[in-house]
Structure 1
């Protein structure tokens, strides 16, 4: 039997999924990829990559062009399966595939995104539009994968899934061996401290986009409160700002907190950087899937303070594998950061438990096996039902994935 062909479509950060795709290829799938990101990492990995431009924010003309480009790509490649990530793509791809009954679409909901993380008039106005589009897209989606239970419950409650199957597969998977190799071969903590001018300061680190929805203003307020009580602490902010458009915090907002706050922009050596952190703070107000940055910090055994938001609560169990605080509560975040800095023994125990959780529940091998089970099931159903199968093969009960088996 010919190896099933999987086309995986993602956004600008799609290259993070290369280890996932390589593992699927090793497991017997033919792999192609498409998206809005840099093609060179895919080319270096030996994965056929097809650039598709689509705007991150609302742009009807760009979205229509992307829809046509995806439809043409599916027609050219004729994959058995199309896997999509990204809020917008989870709507566009099923519509693009609806004329290809033999192509099965798997959509992964990796968070609810900007629409539900922002209370602007535009976001509020677009929410009912999105729900309607998602219900329509579900007609041509074979399986919807959720990364956390909150999002799964939200979609079920609002009847945004139903025709196809839906499963829970926590996170996108962390390649533990690759992460540890990057940490070991990257710059040493001493070298990073020297080049960043940190000296012997205690370091609180975050890795995220420098936007308001990611909670950066609240973290800056927390940093000021910590500075009043522990003036030797430095906050290191890792992640892009200039590319984040109107939602980005300004450089002036960050500069007001110099020198105890240092923004170093996006970095490719995050595994090594995390070895410098005494505490990892994750102040997000964004409706995440399961944040990769949080998983990597946990794998590095960093003591974590995170907000009580969907996705974060899947990684951090309060007072067991870190601390959880309400979003937009800089006072309590500052208190928890200071608690971790004061009691290093307790902080280290929290970090060890978080690392073990990632190794057990979020490692790449487990995640790939769960996705492969979904894909294999769809391919078997498609073969059994033949080319005349309905557009959603999961209308047949035997084709529906086992939610408990995949998610627990």
Structure 2
């Protein structure tokens, strides 16, 4: 397979570098385009093109991005374009609708518009549905990371005539992650550097926004602190880049005795290695959160919210616990349960790791994507599993 594939994402597109490299190993010519730092792509030997769009609501910037993306696709001249993330999944099909190119979009979560209860989000939903229906007209295949999102799109007519496939998660480089775990800074040194001492640690890796449940987590941390004062909560992820959605630093500072926010980090495997529990209080409709896959692979028991995507990784009572979103009491109670019942916590962490290795490995994910691409580029290769494309699951 020598077809050129242009993969377009947003600012976190670098997290897909292992996926892009694996596509290249399968014979595809891969070019990446994104809005983040190009350096990781160049270090990996990947061709990368920078472009710009506004992550937040900005019609003028979105209109400009349409023209930029249209020119980008025309200049690269790929046989197939793969888009990821909310804005690119809308803009790319619209920008390339006049070009002879097959477009595949991956719905990795429905994001703020479909998760927030704010008046603005509720007002935007019909507009986003209409835009997705329009984008679907130019889309050859829509891929979903969880069945809840697939059902939502199909029930609302947002798939169009293209095929609909379920491919769980974005794939995680298991060998690479485990190598990073073994090569990490010794936990004792890292604990000392972070001022954690011998405390029990609950870690959260996510954007520091209200929609990601950080306010709920802070309230839960206060409850845990009252019952178990030696516990420390470690928040890892960007805050300053999150604009109006960011949790104010002053709100975090009120919990300073037992909560430490350290910003975005590149040593996530090492940080997970020093933790006892992973908490993920999101209020978003997630795809399959990479943070959960990495936490599970690190053998951590997880307490997450009962939201689409989270339940694909956390099986309640088996590999962790699920609690309703926006319920700090329930979140705190499950964290305390795991801290008190260490054998149960270890067993859950081991099961979570085995689940990820079995169902979310990068090799399996890339094989599924490659199958979809091959069938679109050569319809004679279409498998029997795609005879009913509206409910097909990539094998």
Same fold at TM > 0.5: yes
Give distance in 1, aligned partners of 2:213 and 2:386. 44
Structure 1 residue 202, shift from structure 2 partner: 0.6
Kept in 1: contact 2:35–2:53 (CA 8 A):
yes
String of CA shifts for 1:64-101, please: whole Å, max 9, x gaps.
Answer: 11111111111112101000001111111111111113
* Distance (Å, rounded) in 2 between the aligned partners of 1:19 and 1:358: 16
Aligned 8 A contact 1:374 1:401 in 2: no
Distance between the aligned counterparts of 2:22 and 2:119, measured in 1?
Answer: 42
Shift of 1:153: 0.7
Match of 2:138 in 1: 140
C-alpha deviations, 1:184-211, integer Å up to 9, x for none?
A: 1121111111101111111111001110
Secondary structure of the 2:103 match is: strand
Native 8 Å contact 2:386 2:392 kept in 1 = no
C-alpha displacement of 1:402: 8.9
* Structure 1 partner of 2:317: 319
The residue correspondences of 1:79-228 to structure 2 (distance < 5 A) are 79-101=78-100, 103-228=101-226
Change (3 A) 1:365 1:401: farther
Runs of 5+ consecutive residues of structure 1 not aligned to the other structure = 386-392
Choose the corresponding residue for 2:327, options 326, 329, 348. 329
Q: 1 CA distance for matches of 2:130 and 2:209? A: 28
Cα distance between partner residues in 2 of 1:197 and 1:74: 48
Q: CA 1:92–1:400 in structure 2 vs 1: closer, same or farther (change >3 Å)?
A: farther
Q: Distance in 2 between matches of 1:212 and 1:57?
A: 15
Decide whether the 8 Å contact of 2:163 with 2:390 is kept in 1. no
Q: Are 1:64 and 2:52 counterparts?
A: no
Distance in 2 separating the partners of 1:208 and 1:48: 28
Structure 2 CA distance for aligned equivalents of residues 38 and 65 of structure 1: 20
| 1:326-361 Cα shifts (integer Å, max 9, x gaps) | 001110111110110011111000000000000000
| Structure 2 residue 21 is the aligned partner of structure 1 residue 22 | yes
In 2, the alpha carbon distance for the partners of 1:229 and 1:281 equals 17
Counterparts of 2:69 and 2:44, CA distance in 1: 22
TM-superposed CA distance for 1:120, in Å, is 2.3
Q: How far does the alpha carbon of each residue in 1:38-77 deviate from its partner, in whole angstroms, 9 at most, with x for none?
A: 1111111111111110000111221111111111111112
User: Counterpart of 2:113 in 1: which secondary structure?
Assistant: helix
Q: Which runs of 5+ in 2 are unaligned?
A: none
SS of 1:209's partner is coil
Query: What SS does structure 1 have at the residue aligned with 2:296?
Result: helix
Q: 1:246, CA displacement in angstroms?
A: 0.8
Report the Cα offset of residue 224 of structure 1.
Answer: 0.5
Q: Is the 8 A contact 2:211 2:282 kept in 1?
A: yes
Secondary structure at the aligned position of 1:117 is classed as coil
Return the alpha-carbon distance in structure 1 between the equivalents of residues 388 and 292 of structure 2: 31
Which consecutive segments of 4 or more residues in structure 1 shift more than 4 A?
Answer: 397-405
Query: SS at 2:73's partner residue?
Result: helix
* 3-state SS of 1:116 partner: coil
Q: Provide TM-score, normalisation by structure 2.
A: 0.97
Spell out, residue by residue over 1:234-262, the C-alpha distance to the aligned partner (whole angstroms, 9 max, x if none).
11111111111111111111111121111
Q: In the alignment, which of 351, 355, 358 is matched to residue 356 of structure 2?
A: 358
Which residue number in structure 2 is paired with residue 233 of structure 1?
231
TM-score with structure 1 length normalisation? 0.94
Please state whether the residue corresponding to 2:31 is helix, strand or coil: strand
Q: Distance in 2 between matches of 1:399 and 1:105?
A: 20
RMSD across aligned positions (CA):
1.8
Q: CA deviation at 1:162?
A: 3.0
Contact map agreement 2:210 2:246 (CA 8 A) in 1: yes
Kindly state the Cα deviation for residue 298 of structure 1 after the two structures are TM-superposed: 0.4
Moved more, 205-214 or 64-73: 64-73
Tell me, in whole angstroms, the C-alpha distance in 1 between the residues paired with 2:113 and 2:386: 35
Q: How many residues align?
A: 394
